[in-house]
């Protein structure tokens, strides 16, 4: 969406009492076109034509963009969705269109092309990217964190544990299998406060708590933690047999630091 960021909330496209959403399909810009040029061409077209959209409803348009490209002009399909909102200052937003049927192949190819470059890049800092599911909430809200005020010890503890579980998530089992001793060691959260922090994460639907065979006691049961929304079809219900046979505890490795 970088190419079209200049459209979001653009005052030249905003009309009082109207909400305008410009819908652009996923993977709409083929390789070889300059994103900035395409975005600028689309903005120019919208400035000249945005008022042709209906007062309520949706209209489809084909916009010629990328005329300066050596590949020639690109016919870009867009949809303009409008809502009449009385006594509203007006708004202009960007939205992604329907996912292509081969999205999995597109993502797999992109990761395959970029992964070697990322691995070879020297980095001395880490960045945690959090994907927001509820885009209708606005630019600054993530629903799961609405109840966090960071004024209670339990909230700070919960955030530390959440980052730890993310870092410790095993890609094969899709959960972090880590005991209280290691949790205390990595996060400095006292053992007596760990259960409260876990309960808070679970109540906010940030994690699921799974029960798996203990690695320390053949007859025992241990907790493992699965991040909500990450590989949702990989869980005890789909992989229970492999987990019970200890087919998946091989790949978990300790981390030296979770928080700066």
- φ, ψ of residue 226 to 5 degrees: the values are -115, 135
Q: What is the pLDDT of residues 49-85, one digit of tens each?
A: 988 888 888 999 999 998 888 888 889 998 999 998 8
Query: In whole angstroms, how far apart are CA 138 and each of 12, 110, 237?
Result: 21, 28, 35
Q: Are 177 and 170 spatial neighbours (Cβ–Cβ below 8 Å)?
A: yes
Q: Give the residues of the chain that fall short of pLDDT 50.
A: 245-260
- φ, ψ of residue 246 to 5 degrees: the values are 60, 40
| Every domain of the chain and the residues it spans | 2-100, 143-244
Residues 6+ apart with CB under 8 A from 251: 170, 171, 172
Give the position of tokens 């609405």. 146
Count of all residues that appear for the chain in the document: 260
Residues 6+ apart with CB under 8 A from 156: 150
* Domain 143-244: assigned CATH number: 1.10.10.10
Cα angle vertex 59, ends 58, 60, to 5°? 130
Query: In whole angstroms, how far apart are CA 182 and each of 58, 94, 186?
Result: 54, 44, 6
What pLDDT was estimated at residue 259?
44
Question: Rounded to two decimals, what is the model's pTM?
Answer: 0.49
Strand ranges, E, within the chain: 18-24, 57-65, 74-84, 91-96, 207-213, 221-227
Q: What is the pLDDT of residues 25-47, one digit of tens each?
A: 877 888 888 888 888 999 999 99
What pLDDT was estimated at residue 157?
94
What pLDDT was estimated at residue 158?
93
In terms of Cα–Cα distance, which of 211, 157, 205 is closest to 183?
157
Burial class (CB in 10 A: 0-12, 13-18, 19+), 48: exposed
């Amino acid at each position: 969406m970088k190419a079209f960021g200049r459209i979001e909330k653009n005052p030249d496209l905003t009309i009082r009492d109207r909400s305008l959403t410009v819908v652009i399909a996923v993977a709409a810009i083929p390789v070889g076109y300059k994103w900035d040029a395409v975005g600028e061409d689309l903005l120019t077209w919208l400035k000249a034509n945005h008022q042709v959209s209906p007062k309520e409803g949706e209209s489809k348009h084909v916009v010629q963009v990328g005329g300066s490209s050596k590949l020639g002009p690109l016919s870009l399909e867009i949809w303009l969705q409008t809502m009449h909102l009385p006594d509203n200052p007006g708004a202009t937003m960007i939205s992604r269109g329907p996912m292509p049927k081969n999205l999995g192949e597109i993502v797999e190819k992109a990761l395959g092309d970029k992964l070697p470059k990322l691995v070879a890049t020297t980095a001395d800092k880490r960045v945690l990217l959090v994907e927001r599911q509820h885009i209708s909430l606005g630019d600054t809200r993530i629903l799961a964190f609405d109840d966090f005020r960071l004024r209670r010890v339990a909230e700070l503890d919960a955030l530390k544990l959440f980052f730890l579980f993310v870092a410790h998530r095993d890609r094969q089992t899709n959960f972090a299998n880590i005991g209280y001793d290691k949790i205390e060691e990595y996060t400095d959260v006292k053992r007596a406060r760990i259960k409260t922090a876990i309960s808070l994460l679970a109540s906010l639907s940030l994690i699921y708590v799974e029960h798996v065979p203990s690695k320390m006691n053949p007859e025992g049961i241990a907790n493992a933690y699965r991040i909500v929304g990450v590989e949702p079809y990989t869980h005890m219900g789909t992989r229970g047999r492999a987990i019970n046979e200890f087919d998946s505890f091989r790949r978990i490795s300790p981390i030296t630091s979770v928080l700066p």
